[in-house]
């Protein structure tokens, strides 16, 4: 027990240290050109706030962490519903979709895996079209049902997989248990975002998906994957039950899936003609801009771990 707490504490201290170093670098750069770097400074400041919220909820209790993830899902879904076209007649349907959040996270809290895995993709999937047809307004029905379900899957179902990691018990190979896995997932997903961005800024030349996201380059993508891969190998023995082969697989899965999540939300934004999904996090945009990668990495990493270790 004492050892478990120590490992996680060290991991958290490592993250704070990394953030401090990154902030000093940003500070040094911003002194040279204060105007062009103001967004980077705002972004770094927001990182401190986000890491603080995450650390506090992580240290206080699993339950609080689950509540925080539920709030993240709520904010993301609200952002999604606010930026997509919706029908006035569907107000009630949107309300039901919001209600799915506490229910889904209750299954997480309860550790009820069977229900957690089917509640949204089966029950909400079947219920929302029914609720929508009760409006008796068929014009735009298909579009409404499709967009509402996708939002629920992306913002609630996907993200709740990160919270479900917390429920996974410690094993012989991994005294840090689910908390360690969650830390591993969140840290690598977010670190990979920053790494891909940084490599892209430094070396980016060849565009990777210009039709969707003109700023993404092969150099950024590969640089990010390589950096995250190395970091996964180094940190996996500390907080996960993975052997080297599985650590390597996770080290590829997270950056690749993270990239796909990122460009998927980019495609959505481009379709809607918006630059950011919101303005909740200064320097980053909306909350969906911050967790876009996580919507892909969380379910994939969860099932990877569950398949091999639980």
Partner 1 sequence: MLQKAFYVLVRIVVLFLLGLNVRRKELLPTRGPAIIVANHNSHLDTMVLMALMPLSRLKDIKPVAAADYFFSSPVKAWVSEHVLGIIPVERGGTRGAKDPLQGCYDALDEGKVLILFPEGSRGEPEQMTDLKKGVSYLAERCPQAPAVPVFTHGLGKALPRGSFLLVPFFCDIFVGKPITWEGNRTQFMNTLRDRFAALSTEKTFAPWE
Nearer to partner 1, 103 or 222 (CB): 103
Among 173, 179, 191, 155, which residue's Cα sits nearest to residue 57?
Answer: 179
Least distance to partner 1, CB of residue 242, Å: 38
For the residues of 5-43, what is the DSSP string, one character each? Answer: HHHHHHHHHHHHHHHHHHHHHHHHHHHHSTTTTHHHHHH
Nearer to partner 1, 79 or 219 (CB): 79
Nearer to partner 1, 29 or 84 (CB): 84
CA 90 – CA 131 distance, rounded (Å): 8
Q: Give burial (CB, 10 Å; 0-12/13-18/19+) of 127.
A: middle
**Cα–Cα distance list, 112 to 115, 118, 156, 218 (Å):** 6, 11, 16, 41
Nearer to partner 1, 59 or 89 (CB): 89
75 close to 281: Cβ distance less than 8 angstroms: no
Residue recorded with tokens 């990777």: 208
Least distance to partner 1, CB of residue 25, Å: 31
140 close to 87: Cβ distance less than 8 angstroms: yes
Nearer to partner 1, 63 or 279 (CB): 279
Least distance to partner 1, CB of residue 94, Å: 5
Residue 209: strand, helix, or coil: coil
Nearer to partner 1, 35 or 139 (CB): 139
Least distance to partner 1, CB of residue 243, Å: 44
Least distance to partner 1, CB of residue 156, Å: 14
CA 94 – CA 22 distance, rounded (Å): 40
Chain residues that interact with partner 1, rule: CB under 8 A: 74-75, 78-79, 81-88, 91-92, 94-95, 98, 272-274, 278-280
Least distance to partner 1, CB of residue 82, Å: 4
205 close to 213: Cβ distance less than 8 angstroms: no
């Amino acid at each position: 027990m004492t050892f478990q707490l120590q490992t996680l504490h060290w991991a958290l201290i490592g993250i704070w240290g990394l953030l401090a170093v990154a902030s000093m670098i940003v500070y040094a750069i911003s002194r040279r050109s204060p105007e062009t770097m103001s967004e980077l400074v705002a972004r770094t400041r927001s990182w401190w706030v986000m890491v603080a919220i995450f650390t506090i909820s992580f240290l206080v209790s699993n339950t609080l962490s689950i509540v925080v993830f539920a709030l993240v899902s709520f904010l993301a879904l609200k952002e999604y519903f606010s930026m997509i076209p919706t029908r006035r007649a569907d107000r009630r349907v949107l309300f039901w979709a919001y209600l799915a959040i506490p229910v889904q996270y209750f299954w997480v809290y309860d550790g009820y895996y069977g229900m957690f895995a089917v509640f949204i993709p089966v029950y909400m999937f079947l219920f929302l079209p029914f609720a929508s047809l009760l409006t008796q307004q068929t014009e735009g029905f298909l579009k409404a049902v499709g967009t509402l379900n996708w939002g629920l899957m992306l913002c609630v179902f996907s993200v709740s997989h990160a919270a479900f990691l917390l429920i996974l018990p410690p094993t012989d190979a991994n005294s840090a248990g689910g908390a360690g896995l969650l830390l591993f997932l969140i840290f690598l997903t977010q670190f990979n975002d920053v790494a891909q961005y940084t490599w892209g800024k430094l070396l980016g030349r060849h565009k990777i998906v210009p039709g969707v996201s003109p700023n993404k380059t092969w150099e950024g993508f590969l640089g990010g994957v390589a950096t995250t891969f190395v970091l996964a190998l180094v940190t996996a023995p500390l907080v996960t039950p993975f052997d080297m082969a599985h650590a390597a697989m996770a080290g590829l899965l997270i950056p690749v899936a993270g990239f796909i999540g990122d460009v998927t939300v980019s495609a959505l934004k481009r379709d809607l003609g918006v630059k950011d999904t919101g303005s909740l996090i200064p320097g980053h945009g909306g909350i969906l801009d911050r967790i876009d990668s996580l919507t892909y990495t969380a379910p994939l990493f969860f099932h990877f771990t569950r398949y091999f270790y639980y």
